[in-house]
Every structure is written in structure tokens, then in C-alpha cells.
Structure 1
Amino acid sequence: MAKIAFLGLGVMGFPMAGHLAAAGHEVTVYNRTAAKAGSWVARHGGRAAATPREAAAGQAFVFACVGNDDDLRAVTLGAEGAFAGMADGALFVDHTTASAIVARELAAAAGGRFGVLDAPVSGGQAGAEAGRLTVMVGGGAADFERARPVIGAYGANISHIGPAGAGQLAKMVNQICIAGVVQGLAEGLAFAQAAGLDPAAVIGAISKGAAQSWQMENRWKAMVAGEFEFGFAVDWMRKDLGICLEQAKETGARLPVTALVDQFYADVQAMGGRRWDTSSLIARLGPTK
């Protein structure tokens, strides 16, 4: 069992840190809103720290799961950042979906004094709560092997992709693929309804063939019902797709469908769906027959 700090107790970080405590680790938490950290301690035990530096002091592992690049820099760098408190030989593991640029920046900032892994996750809030996340990891192989059994408290599929930044790049691939699949599913369901077909019958037929996907299995009913008050928010998806599109500019990769779906999500935001699940792409297609 290890001494661990966990920075960021949002819809993902709160249950992830809880799984670490349930596994028997000694967990200290930090959250920008202190009341959230207090709620976590009341439920799981452990200790709350006033700053990231305080949380990280003396810990073997420091985990983070915050909002974006700037949030990540805020909890790691500077006089009160976690890096200022981390001991030599410790390991920092970042589960934020962020840019490969900031992942490499943090690895460089560690200066070899401690290890740094970029380890974004997929599976959403449900996966975090169930402890069944997919984790894509960039960084040193030895650091990965050291962290893997600890990440296993909430990670069901944990893969080392490559050096610093590779985990974030893999997460970009994940989001690119999801964007296209959800848009295709939205159009397919809207077409079925407009054609007067029973969506349940159609899904029952095609979900056993080449069209099958996680999105189809888990989201078609909510899409047909127009129920989106749950899941991975459109605001978050647009943040992620923005990272993908910026990275594509640097690498010269062409992402025409991703760019188009990103604009479709902008339409959903304009409809008031900023916090709707990403499956809400179907809402912008309008009423069907």
C-alpha cells in the first residue's frame, strides 16, 4: 500500500480517489473547492490538504484529474504547486485530458527528480464509479510498471503507449473516433424515425453486425427519447476536440469530419445543451416524422 495524493475531485476524480482509498492506500486529497475535499474525506477517510504542495509532500504517488492545461499547470507549477512539494523519486500521474504539449512540459519541469506519466482515461463517470476505466499512458516504461498496480484500483484496461505525451495523443485518437461514431448513429436513428421504422427493431438487427459500437449499445434509447441530462458533457467534448484540432495543425493531419462534428457540437451548445451528453448530436437534426 502506498501514500498517495489526489488532486481534483470532479465527477471523475472523486470516485477514482475513492477506489484508491478502498484498495487500502493512504490518500490525501486536494480540490480547488475545499468543501468537495471535505465531503470526500467524510465518505472515504484520509486527509484533505489546503494546497497541492501540501498534499504532495511526502507522497510516493501524486495523481491529478483536473479540467484543462491551465488547471493542470495551476496545481503542479509555482510555489504552491504539487511539484514544489514532491519528494525525489516520487511519481506524478496525470489523468487530465489535456494537450501533449503540457504533458511534455511537465515531464521537463520534473527534471528527472521524479517521474511523470500522462495517463488520460476513457469510460466516463460511469466507468470511474465502477472502477472500469481505460487508461492510456505516456512516459517511461519503468514508471509505467511502477504505477500500473496502483492505477489498477480503477483501471480495467491500462496500456503504455509511448514516451511523454503519447498517452494524450492516444486519447485524442479516442475522441476523434467517438465524434464520428456518435454523429453517424445520430443520423442513422433520425433517418430510421423519419422513414417510419421502429428504432428498437432496427437497432436489434444492426447491433449484431458491423455497425455495432459502444455508443449504439449504450446511447440509442436515450437518443430516441431525447434524454441527455447525464453523461459526458458537450462542453467537455468540445474542449477535447479543440485539443485534437490544434494537434492536427502541428502534425499536418487532416481531420475534416472531426472539425465538422465539432461545429455540430457548437450548434448543440447554442441550443442550450452545454451540459447535455455527447449523444445529443441527434437533437440538432430536428424533429422527425
Structure 2
Amino acid sequence: MSTPAALEAVRRHAPLVSCITNAVVTNITANVLLALGAAPAMVDITGEAGPFARVASTLLINLGTPQPEQRDAAREAVAAAADAGTPWVLDPVAIGTLTHRTALARELFGRGPSVVRGNASEILALAGDGSGGGGVETADDVAATLDPACDLARSHGCVVAVSGPVDLITDGESVIHVQGGSALLTRMTGGGCALGAVVAAFLGAGRKEDLDDVSAVVAAHAVYSAAAERAEARSTGPGSFPPAFLDALYALEMQDLQNVSVSATSATTAAGGGPA
């Protein structure tokens, strides 16, 4: 299935995305999902998170502000998702230097997410190969994550997505690079966290269309990058960019995707070079 077809699947199915996400990005995350055509739900308290994860199309666990009840809700939701077969995305925000969330991220990672999405420092920290970045900012290059990301994907049977100027996505066997987007995403609160929700939306819609998880994750990144490029062309800076980005997600067309470069190779070949 092509990226345009995957986007159309999201718009057609309007996947219900259960988001246990951080307090800083709740609003932009919900608005991004709505603009995309998905249906967000912020269900992050115990007693509700588990039952809702059973009926949702997909689940996002974002560790940006892991308050005690939210940590318990995440555990509850992940257990319910595993039991119900609900696909879920782990976004291990700012792990590495922050010990409590790092331990929680590794605990949840051991419970079998469908996808892990983070920046280079977060993925390296999850793999035990780095100390993390400065808060949510990365201190490492995406290229440095190739081997650790492939190892994580193979050992846990999931897709690992590393965001940066050139995104890297792998299931341990194939490696896909997505190049595009806008640097203004780094000047917008939630620019990375909302991507995790978009990945979840494509994952949920993809399962309804028998689209494999790697292709769903690649499509999510390509759409996000294309919308960011369209938004940058219609904005003058970080103040006007967020609403332009929402408009771009809502109005994105096939021609907007043509400027996004997607290249694929095997993990073995990629280890000897970079984007094919």
C-alpha cells in the first residue's frame, strides 16, 4: 500500500487513538490527530485506561510527564492492549539521564510494543548505548542509532523509528530512511510527541487494511514530513507554523508527498553506508 493510500485509510477509518501522553502536549496531540482524520481520546487514569485500550484502534504511551497515576495507567493500558491485540506505540521521552522514566520505559518496552518512536538519544538510551540527551532534545545523530535500533527491533519483534533530519525506521531486517520535513517542528511544542500519535493512527488504520507495521510507520513519517514542508511554506516562523501545520495535515494531497524522499535497504547493507 502506498503512502497516499495509507493516508486515505486513516481518513476513511478514523482510528480511535487512546493517548496516554504528557501534559505539555495533550492539546497539540489531539488537534494533530483530528486534523489528520483520526479520533483522539486522552484516557489516562487507572480503572479507565485498561478498558479503553481494549476497544481503541490503537494506543500511544508517551512518557513526557510520567506522574504516578499516569504510570499506573500506562501499565494497565499496555496489559489490556496485549490481551486484546491492540497495537501500541511507546514514545520514551527524555529517557537516559532521568532515572525513573528510564526504568519505566525499559519495563514497558519489555511488554512488547508494536512500535518504539523516539529521537536518537532516546533510542540509544533504551538500547543501553547512550546517556540520553538534554531533556527532550537529542544529543546524538540518527546515523549512530542504526545498529542499536536494528538490534532492539530484532530482539523485541517490533518496529523502531528514530526521528531526525532524516528519519530511520527498521524492523531489524529492512531499513527505511525518510527525508523531508521542517526544522520548525523543533520550535513547536509537541512536534516530536505528536508524531508518535500519528504513528499510532497509521498503525491502527493499517491493521484494518492488512498493512504491515513497517509500511504504516513509514507512511506516518512521510505524511508528517510532507505536512511540515507545506506548513513551512505557508508560515513565517514558530508562531504561525503550528496552525499552518494543522491545516496542512487536514488538506494534504498526493502532490505534497512527492518532495519527501523514502529509500529502503537491508539492515546489512545499511550498516555499511547510509540511505540507499
Flag the structure with larger Rg.
1
Normalized against structure 1, the TM-score is what? 0.35
